[in-house]
Amino acid sequence: MNAPLGAALAASLALLAACTTTASPPESQPPVSAAQVGESRPGSGYLKGYLAHGELPDSLALLPPPPAADSAALAADGQAYRALTALRAGPRGAQAARDAQLRFPQAADAFACALGVEVSEQATPHLNMLLRRTLSDAGLATYKAKDHYQRTRPFVTFKEPSCTPADEPALARDGSYPSGHSAIGWAWALVLTEVAPERADALLQRGRSFAQSRGVCGAHWASDIEAGRLMGSAVVARLHDNAVFRAQLALARQEVAAARGKGKVPDAAACTAQQQVLDTSVRLAP
């Protein structure tokens, strides 16, 4: 995860352990404003998730340990690092740097091309809130394992730069396994396939490339990314037991349909260009 989010969510664990999330409104009226939901930590800019701390999937119980020293799995991680970071100097690296940005409103368009709809607080308030709150759930769910293993990040191991230099000091102190960005991106992809099932293939491909960007950046090992996607899946499964999430999901579906009807779609040329960039790494691990 990027440094501000990692620090904010790590600090939020202590707060969330002592309290529940925002009181659930009637299922037909989930909140759409940040003021109603509240921040996970005051001033962080990241909102509370749908799940209370005790409801989050247990990453330490669900995940195996990261690859051991001198193992074949660790060697494979090193090979994937070299293959992916070789793309950092080109357009794929620039896309990876954009994918590292999890703050809204900037992050709202990360999946817009795959979804085929522009996402914003104004035009699609329920969809926007769905993404903001699932971000926190997926990110926080990785921290039990992160804090336990405290795995060193690859750019630190290899003493090389990442694609987000300003974040490196904080990232170096934040455990690498599992990848929070990958959990978030995969959770978004899965949730959005329910919002727009006809776009499932494009959305899942984007979820994979979003997670893969962490390898291009050198911020995570391939095994971190794979473990992050598993945690993203676990979070989405757990979210389906939350009435506010289900209500917001249903309203997001309506917003997407309405936006398409009004022609609120991303620029086709920009989306074609983005896909061409992402295609350069699609066959590389992870």
Q: State yes or no: is 167 an active-site residue.
A: no
Q: State yes or no: is 199 an active-site residue.
A: no
Q: State yes or no: is 88 an active-site residue.
A: no
Catalytic residue among 41, 132, 220, 229: 220
- Other C-beta atoms closer than 10 Å to the C-beta of 159 total 6
Catalytic residue among 92, 208, 214, 229: 214
Q: State yes or no: is 260 an active-site residue.
A: no
Q: What type of residue sits at position 253?
A: R
Catalytic residue among 153, 181, 199, 208: 181
The rounded distance, in Å, linking the Cα atoms of 145 and 150 is 8
Q: Label residues 242-263 b or e (16+ Cβ within 10 Å = b).
A: bebbbbbbebbbebbeebeeee
Catalytic residue among 77, 99, 167, 224: 224
Residues marked active site are found at 181, 214, 220, 224
